[in-house]
Amino acid sequence: MTNSFGSSILAFLVLLPAVASADNYETEIRPFLTKYCVSCHGPSKQKADLRLDKLDPDMVNGSDADMWQEVLDLINVGEMPPKVAKAQPKRSERQVIVDALTLSLRQAMEAKRSTGGRNVIRRLTAYEYNNTLRDLLHLDLQYAADLPPEGSAKEGFKNNASVLGTSGLHIEYFERIARSALERIILAPTEQPTPYFVRVEPELAFKPEPVAVPADGKRQKKQRKPKQRSGTEYDIKGAHFVPDKNVRGPLFRLDHGEPSAEGNGILLAGNRPGDKVGDPFAADRKIGGAQGDGRSGYQPEFRVEIYEVPHDVPVLVRVKLSAVPGKDETWPRLSFELGSFRGANVSDQKEAANIEIRSTEPEVYEFVVHGANFPFQSNKPGRPSYFRIFNDYRRGTSQLTYDELPKLNIDWVEIRSNHYEAWPSPQKQAILFASTNQDDELIYAREVIGRFMTRAYRRPVSKSEVDRKLTLFQKLRDQEASFEATIISTLTAVLCSSNFLLISEPEETTVDEDAADRRRLNDHELASRLSYFLWSSMPDATLFELASKEQLHQPEVLLSQVKRMIADPKSAGFSRNFASQWLDLAGIRRLAVNPEYFDFKEKDKELFEEESIQFVHEVLKSNLSITNFIDSDFAMLNPALSAHYRIPSISGGSFQKHTIDKSHHRGGLMTQASMLFGNSTGSETHPIKRGVWVLERMLDDPPAPPPPNVPDLPEPEGNDLATLSLKERLIEHAQVESCRDCHAKIDPWGVPFENYNALGQWREGTRDPLVHREHQAVNIDASTQLKNGKKIHDVNDLKNYILTEKKPQFRTAVVRKVMAYSLGRYLEFSDRSAIDSICETVKRENDSFQTLIEQIVLSEPFLTK
Amino acid sequence: MNHKSWHLSRRTVLKSAGVSLALPWLECMAADKKAAPKKRFFAGYFAYGVPMPADDDPDRMDHGWFPVGEGRDYQAPVMHESIMPLREKVTFLSGLSHPSMRGTSAHKGADYFLTGANILKTYDKQSISIDQYLAQSLSKDTRFRSLVMSSFGGVNRPYRSSTLSFDRSGRPIPAQNNPAEIFRRMFGEVTDSEKNALASRGSIIDEVLSEAKDLNRRLGTTDKAKMDEFLTSVREVERMTERSVKWQSTPKPKVDPAELDLAANPTSPREYLTVMYDLLALALQTDTTRVATFQTACEEAGVTDRFPSAIGLANSSHSLSHEKKNYEKVASYITFLNEMHANFVTKLDSIQEADGTLLDNTLCFYGCATSKTHQATNYPIILSGGKNMGFQHGAHLQYGDNVPLSNLFVTIANQLSGPTEKFSDSTADITEVLT
């Protein structure tokens, strides 16, 4: 091994064997020890029982790696050599030994976790398990919700085999989840269940005579005009179906709505108006919503409460409505939720749809959801389930009055639970398919089990594999109540099998312990690798067929499949999971917004997450250059997020691509709220965290972890500290010389984002008008200097710098991140030549993201085990 | 039918506070008087250490954790008021720590709090936690071997553990964090489907295990190591199934969920911690298990960082722990956590068993692996209960900074489990906590 450590990026990428560490021991470590340490920790004296000249320089195989870490930490924090020592190392000398030890220890750590550059058998991640059951059973439910939460590898990837532990609790849940899913499908009644149906004409709330006794028992005063008192419940006297006379009938509840002009519906305005004077509900808007749903109680809403509705079944919701546009071409947004009450004022709910309505003509909107995916069943007996509609238009900073707000004009609402389009369900027919052998239980069982296993194991199954499951079937048949019940138990065993739960690539023949050579994956193994990479799920029929014909491994077939898979909606699985893990989007949920600084809706965190996912997805789908990750002339926005960013006049429904220019201060991933907020403190910016994020995620150059007992960046508290500039605080943080050295490598990558507050909103000068008044005084200075002397004035400067001088490093970083994700393991030295050649091709192809993915799929590490 | 493990006195039923528990008269209750006393163990953990104003600070008693004075004549600071009615059943310990982790950068406390393992640089020396060690002998006759809970759930990752419990091989045991699921597993009505499932589970697990062994034979060395974990897990379920089969003729204790806010989650900390502690009390009271751990928070940014919101504080628990001058806020936050813990201990003491209270039959070990901000020495520890296992209380015991916490674990193991000479890096035992 002759690699030098000259280039730091190279050194980070390369796993060098122990002998190289010994090299740098002789040239860099030993001289320092001899000069400054050995007089106290050597042959003559052994202060603290420590003899440094005898420590084993081999940090990989030797037994002294822990001691070396101790040595590094003490030098790092400036405790050693002690201040009283006569010989004090120069700053540059200290830097050399710190770098050398850091590097060696890092290599030792990498060597320890090495799998020899080969993929290791691994369990499906919780999300892969969920998606696989979804595709296997053709039923989209939240299967993995009760599984123990999962951790992630150091680089953030959850599919790294080393962190995918299996425990008894896991197996217990896998069995339970599989059985209940199979029972749901197979044990469904022969007769199609009767639908539960409710239709509501909301204008009933405005009949001049009270239509019912309000639930609070108080009689309403005679009303002069159709005006509805907020918070009053009404029995629904319209057409509805109640399965049991003892069950309380449905109720509906209207907050802050008014009758439509035609009188056949109601109007729901979005948001609280900018002026209180013209607000007909001003008096009612005193109480904010304390239900943890991220919305304030100010918002008008229309809610139907239903008792003992079949909840664990498909639900069809139909709404007839039209839009009443607001001033300045603003449009209402229909949001609906399914939920339930668990206390008088405590509810759980989940949004099922959120769409902008632009049709001024009444139209019927239909949604089919599965009740099991929502907190639709109350866990408190007697409390109702509910269905809620509100207008999710956000006023933002505009000052629209009540009359100017866009409104939803709702004519009627229908809810149909137990909504099945076919019976028996297609899911059941897929497992218990029609066969001429249906009369012979054993032959039919073999057919059913065999077909199911083939899909569950993601490969053809041998006769003996089916035989053993058939043996289980026969063993259980006598004790089980029916053929169906026995099938459920047998297929439960299939879904608890190591062949289903684990992605394994076993040896083709008996294992030869010495056979370190990689082998080519067979086509079915390749199909799985491909589909878990791009879909986070099992291979589909096309992949399976190509694998069976042994064509999949052919490069042209592979390439066309990659194209097809990216075009398939399931590629959202890649964008969502890769982006979340690469960019650490979970950081958004980990962090809480300080209410002393911001008015913030918890729900907006989802926007931050979604923006980055959608952005990565757009680069993938449209086959754009990966340089867009650093800077782009477009942003993925929806109205709520553009309001957060103060980007005016974004219309349209869900997240869409919008062209932007420099005046918007957006473009690329680094200036998205996910990164800026996720690496703040929830009240203040945190340039160190932001810098570390850029180095780790964009440049794959993670800084060494801080030595023990380093205090956190002090948060300003009280008015006197609020004006302390960030740079002063950084200096306070890095009082020790060696800390400054490290921070000189980190902080300049975070300081340029100082123009973005903790929520990622743009700010300039000496005021941040977006936070509460007492925290507005700031001292924004985004200019900095990189360790190499390069001056950076602002965030655009930083982006340009990365896209010019750091471009190869950035490209390599993206290749490595995607590759580690595609393989489900840490990258190692043996992957290096593949990475180099992928980088070259990607560079030639204008940094196209699809090329990058194709090249990874065609690479040696991906195709072999 | 195994009656031995079902020693619920009727008074248990009558005296249970807060949570209603309705039990039919069972033959097994008659055995109350004769049976050997049941020994239980609880270990609890809170995050990020405690405020430590200097001894001459005028706010020492108002804001500090550690008592003033040693032995029986100590004075407890204000934050412990909630547990002081039980003064004679409570001991404060100071000074103890795990030697090999004293130099850690903190936030790793939950990883080694109950194991005492040296995981400072590598994780491969992680070893069994004291609760699991005790479970080997204490939980032979209970429906569950142990109850492992944390507010994060799962295991998270090395150095930021979200579980306190580690098995014989040092593998983390995933913690449960969902009250409804914990309730279901312990007390949920056994549906017909579950009865069916149990009847066939043995055969299914057999098949899964034997098939996995087949696969294992075809794997290379690195794969085998990983596969071993799968095999171990399946065997564990095999044993759990045997346990369940043994237990299936014994009805689960009937606990009325109406009193429990099972939908609570960590975003409402008071409600969440209350229901989690209630579930712990129920688990011990009903003898569903005799060993339980609860990590109230993970020392990593996340939802548990917002626990101070329970008392109206906007600060994160982590940033509170970094306070170096004005301890008022952090003290009021720790006071809140102490109240939650004290409510639990008090509840145990309100439940009568044949030979004393449930607290007398439960040793509760509660604390944290840092004292002052990020200092992994002088752990704040409260030991309570366990009178019938020979524990004596009413004092503040101060130890030097060089005494291993595992010495206390040796004593605990001796009293609860059987002759134990060593646990982790122990050097002796601690007899001052015994009568």
Q: How far is CA A105 from the centre of its chain?
A: 32
Are A738 and A778 contained in the same domain? yes
Q: Looking at residue A668, what is its pLDDT?
A: 97
Report pTM. Answer: 0.84
Residue of A44 and A248 predicted with greater confidence: A44
Give the DSSP H or E segment for A389: strand A385-391
Q: What is the pLDDT of residues A568-578, one digit of tens each?
A: 999 999 999 99
What is the Cα–Cα distance from B105 to B120, expressed in whole angstroms?
Answer: 9
Residues of A in contact with B375 (CB under 8 A): 709
Whether the predicted pLDDT of B10 surpasses 60: no
Confidence of residue B409 (pLDDT cuts 50, 70, 90): very high
Q: Which residue has the tokens 């031995």?
A: B4
**Residues 625-684, chain A, touching B (beta carbon < 8 A):** 681-682
| φ/ψ (deg, to 5) at A523 | -65, -30
**Residue B78 Cα, gap to closest chain A Cα (Å):** 26
Q: What is the pLDDT of residues A140-192, one digit of tens each?
A: 999 998 898 887 777 789 999 888 888 999 999 999 999 999 999 999 888 88
Contact between chains at A498 and B322 (C-beta distance less than 8 A): no
Q: What Cα–Cα distance (Å) separates residue A834 from each residue in A4, A399, A828, A843?
A: 20, 57, 11, 14
Q: Which of A70, A465, A496, A603 to mutate to test the interface with B (most CBs of B within 10 A)?
A: A496
Least reliable range by pLDDT among A172-181, A342-351, A537-546, A794-803: A342-351
Cβ neighbours, 10 Å, residue A287: 11
Mean pLDDT of A391-410: 82
Using DSSP's 3-state secondary structure scheme, residue B262 falls into: coil
Whether the predicted pLDDT of A405 surpasses 60: yes
Q: Closest Cα to residue A811, out of A558, A679, A628?
A: A628
Q: What is the pLDDT of residues B193-210, one digit of tens each?
A: 888 888 899 999 999 999
Touching check for A721 and chain B: CB below 8 Å?
A: no
Q: How many domains does chain A have?
A: 6
Are A446 and A392 contained in the same domain? no
Contact criterion met (CB below 8 Å) for A229 and A272: no
Whether the predicted pLDDT of A617 surpasses 80: yes
**Residues 29-88, chain B, touching A (beta carbon < 8 A):** none
- Strand stretches in A588-646, DSSP E: 634-637
Residues of B in contact with A513 (CB under 8 A): 220-221
Whether the predicted pLDDT of B49 surpasses 50: yes
Of B201, B257, B322, the CB nearest to A711: B322
What is the Cα–Cα distance from B214 to A469, expressed in whole angstroms?
Answer: 14
Q: What is the pLDDT of residues B154-188, one digit of tens each?
A: 988 888 899 999 999 899 999 999 999 999 999 98
Of B203, B223, B267, the CB nearest to A121: B223
Q: Which residues contact A44 (CB under 8 A, 6 or more apart)?
A: none
Q: Looking at residue B88, what is its pLDDT?
A: 97
Q: Is residue A729 part of a domain?
A: yes
Tokens read off for B315: 């600060």
Q: Closest Cα to residue A600, out of A447, A771, A438?
A: A771
Task: For residue A252, list its beta bridge partners.
Answer: A234, A304
Task: For residue B160, list its beta bridge partners.
Answer: B157
Q: Which of A354, A385, A417 is the last residue of a domain?
A: A417
Residue A180 Ramachandran class (φ > 0 left, ψ -120 to 50 alpha, else beta): alpha
Whether the predicted pLDDT of A741 surpasses 80: no
Q: Looking at residue B31, what is its pLDDT?
A: 44
Q: What Cα–Cα distance (Å) separates residue B112 from each residue in B99, B146, B154, B160, B370?
A: 11, 18, 16, 10, 12
Where exactly are the structural domains of chain B? 10-187+254-433, 191-247
Q: Looking at residue B7, what is its pLDDT?
A: 32
Of B122, B171, B203, the CB nearest to A472: B203
**Residues 193-252, chain B, touching A (beta carbon < 8 A):** 193, 196-197, 199-201, 203-205, 207-208, 210-212, 215, 217-223, 226-227, 229-230, 233-234, 236-237, 240
Which amino acid is residue B425, in one-letter code? D
Mean pLDDT of B410-416: 97
Residues of B in contact with A342 (CB under 8 A): 261, 263
Are A270 and A369 contained in the same domain? yes
Q: Which of A167, A180, A488 to mutate to test the interface with B (most CBs of B within 10 A)?
A: A167
Q: What is the pLDDT of residues B330-355, one digit of tens each?
A: 999 999 999 999 999 999 999 999 88
Tell me the residue length of chain B.
Answer: 435
Q: Which residues contact A6 (CB under 8 A, 6 or more apart)?
A: none
Contact between chains at A165 and B171 (C-beta distance less than 8 A): yes
Mean pLDDT of A763-787: 89
Q: Looking at residue A649, what is its pLDDT?
A: 60
Contact criterion met (CB below 8 Å) for A747 and A731: no
Identify whether A752 is preceded by a cis peptide bond (ω within 30 of 0).
no
Task: For residue A666, list its beta bridge partners.
Answer: none
Contact between chains at B230 and A506 (C-beta distance less than 8 A): no
What is the Cα–Cα distance from A372 to A137, expressed in whole angstroms?
Answer: 15
Q: What is the pLDDT of residues B423-432, one digit of tens each?
A: 999 999 999 9
**Residues 146-175, chain B, touching A (beta carbon < 8 A):** 152-157, 160, 162, 171-175
Touching check for A603 and chain B: CB below 8 Å?
A: no
Q: What is the pLDDT of residues A228-276, one digit of tens each?
A: 433 334 444 433 334 455 566 677 777 777 888 887 888 888 766 777 6
Q: Which of A380, A498, A588, A680 to mutate to test the interface with B (most CBs of B within 10 A)?
A: A498
Residue of A348 and A215 predicted with greater confidence: A348
Are A281 and A157 contained in the same domain? no
Q: Is residue A2 part of a domain?
A: no
Mean pLDDT of chain A: 83
Whether the predicted pLDDT of A60 surpasses 90: no
B11 burial (CB, 10 Å; 0-12 / 13-18 / 19+) is middle
Q: Which residue of B has its CA nearest to A469?
A: B207
Q: Which residues contact B265 (CB under 8 A, 6 or more apart)?
A: B178, B272
Q: Closest Cα to residue A295, out of A367, A388, A410, A379?
A: A388
Sheet holding B291-295, edge to edge: B147-150, B291-295, B40-45, B362-367, B381-385, B90-94, B396-398
**Residue B47 Cα, gap to closest chain A Cα (Å):** 16
Of B156, B207, B215, the CB nearest to A493: B207
Mean pLDDT of A547-558: 97
Q: Is residue A186 part of a domain?
A: yes
Cβ neighbours, 10 Å, residue A485: 20
**Residue B432 Cα, gap to closest chain A Cα (Å):** 32
Tokens read off for B115: 């194991």
Domain that holds residue A543: 521-567
Mean pLDDT of A502-513: 68
Q: Is 3.40.720.10 the CATH number for B10-187+254-433?
A: yes
Least reliable range by pLDDT among A275-284, B30-39, B321-330, B402-411: B30-39
Q: Which residue of B has its CA nearest to A595?
A: B314
Tell me, what CATH number does A201's domain have? Answer: 2.60.120.260
What is the Cα–Cα distance from A135 to A139, expressed in whole angstroms?
Answer: 7
Confidence of residue A627 (pLDDT cuts 50, 70, 90): very high
| % of chain A surpassing 90 pLDDT | 46
Mean pLDDT of A87-92: 86
Residues of A in contact with B176 (CB under 8 A): 148, 169
Mean pLDDT of A603-613: 94
**Residue A771 Cα, gap to closest chain B Cα (Å):** 15
**Residue B28 Cα, gap to closest chain A Cα (Å):** 29
Tokens read off for B401: 């900074």
Q: Which residue has the tokens 């001691």?
A: A67
Give me the numbers of helices (H) and strands (E) for chain B, helices first please.
Answer: 11, 11
| φ/ψ (deg, to 5) at B239 | -65, -40
Contact between chains at B215 and A499 (C-beta distance less than 8 A): yes
What is the Cα–Cα distance from A155 to A702, expressed in whole angstroms?
Answer: 9
Which amino acid is residue A4, in one-letter code? S
Q: What is the pLDDT of residues A102-146, one digit of tens each?
A: 888 888 777 777 777 788 899 999 999 999 999 999 999 999 988
Q: Is residue A423 part of a domain?
A: no
Q: Closest Cα to residue A686, out of A760, A777, A737, A793?
A: A760
Q: What Rg value do the Cα atoms of chain B yield, rounded?
A: 22
Q: Is residue A231 part of a domain?
A: yes
Contact criterion met (CB below 8 Å) for B227 and A498: yes
Q: Which of A349, A384, A417 is the last residue of a domain?
A: A417
What is the Cα–Cα distance from A862 to B3, expressed in whole angstroms?
Answer: 58
Are A200 and A289 contained in the same domain? yes
Q: What is the pLDDT of residues B355-399, one digit of tens each?
A: 899 999 999 999 999 998 778 899 999 999 999 999 999 999 999
Are A718 and A779 contained in the same domain? yes
Q: Looking at residue A718, what is its pLDDT?
A: 43
What is the Cα–Cα distance from B143 to B252, expressed in whole angstroms?
Answer: 9
Q: What is the pLDDT of residues B12-37, one digit of tens each?
A: 333 334 444 444 333 344 344 456 77
| % of chain A surpassing 70 pLDDT | 84
Q: Is residue A516 part of a domain?
A: no
Whether the predicted pLDDT of B121 surpasses 90: no
Confidence of residue A681 (pLDDT cuts 50, 70, 90): confident
Residues of B in contact with A479 (CB under 8 A): 199-200
Residues of A in contact with B173 (CB under 8 A): 167, 169
What is the Cα–Cα distance from A767 to A769, expressed in whole angstroms?
Answer: 6
Q: Which long-range contacts (CB under 8 A, 24 or more apart) does B224-227 make?
A: B226/A120, B226/A121, B226/A122, B226/A161, B227/A121, B227/A498, B227/A502
| % of chain B surpassing 90 pLDDT | 63
Contact between chains at B219 and A504 (C-beta distance less than 8 A): yes
Whether the predicted pLDDT of A844 surpasses 90: yes
Q: Looking at residue A734, what is its pLDDT?
A: 63
Contact criterion met (CB below 8 Å) for A133 and A109: no
Q: Where are the alpha helices (DSSP H) in A387-462?
A: 426-431, 441-456
Are A744 and A649 contained in the same domain? yes
Contact between chains at B193 and A183 (C-beta distance less than 8 A): yes
What is the Cα–Cα distance from B318 to A434, expressed in whole angstroms?
Answer: 61
Q: Which of B160, B200, B229, B231 to mutate to test the interface with A (most CBs of A within 10 A)?
A: B200
Of B152, B181, B197, the CB nearest to A146: B181
What is the Cα–Cα distance from B257 to B296, expressed in whole angstroms?
Answer: 22
Mean pLDDT of A47-59: 84
Whether the predicted pLDDT of A713 surpasses 70: no
Cβ neighbours, 10 Å, residue B279: 25
Residues of A in contact with B178 (CB under 8 A): 146
Touching check for A712 and chain B: CB below 8 Å?
A: yes
Q: Which residue of B has its CA nearest to A154?
A: B157
Are A59 and A175 contained in the same domain? no
Q: Which of A395, A417, A439 is the last residue of a domain?
A: A417
Residues of B in contact with A714 (CB under 8 A): 322
Q: Is residue A642 part of a domain?
A: yes
Are A406 and A277 contained in the same domain? yes
Q: Which residue of B has its CA nearest to A146?
A: B181
What is the Cα–Cα distance from A860 to A389, expressed in whole angstroms?
Answer: 53
**Residues 544-573, chain A, touching B (beta carbon < 8 A):** none
Mean pLDDT of chain B: 88
Q: Is residue A422 part of a domain?
A: no
Confidence of residue A397 (pLDDT cuts 50, 70, 90): low
In this structure, are strands A314-324 and A363-370 parallel, antiparallel, or unpaired? Answer: antiparallel
Q: How far is CA A694 from the centre of its chain?
A: 18
Least reliable range by pLDDT among A483-492, A605-614, B24-33, B294-303: B24-33
Least reliable range by pLDDT among A684-688, A715-719, A809-813: A715-719
Q: What Cα–Cα distance (Å) separates residue B58 from each residue in B62, B77, B80, B193?
A: 8, 12, 18, 63
**Residue A845 Cα, gap to closest chain B Cα (Å):** 37
Are A290 and A402 contained in the same domain? yes
Task: For residue A267, list its beta bridge partners.
Answer: A258, A409
Q: What is the ipTM of this complex?
A: 0.83
Are A410 and A312 contained in the same domain? yes
Are A691 and A765 contained in the same domain? yes
Residues of A in contact with B110 (CB under 8 A): none
**Residue B350 Cα, gap to closest chain A Cα (Å):** 27
Contact between chains at A711 and B374 (C-beta distance less than 8 A): yes
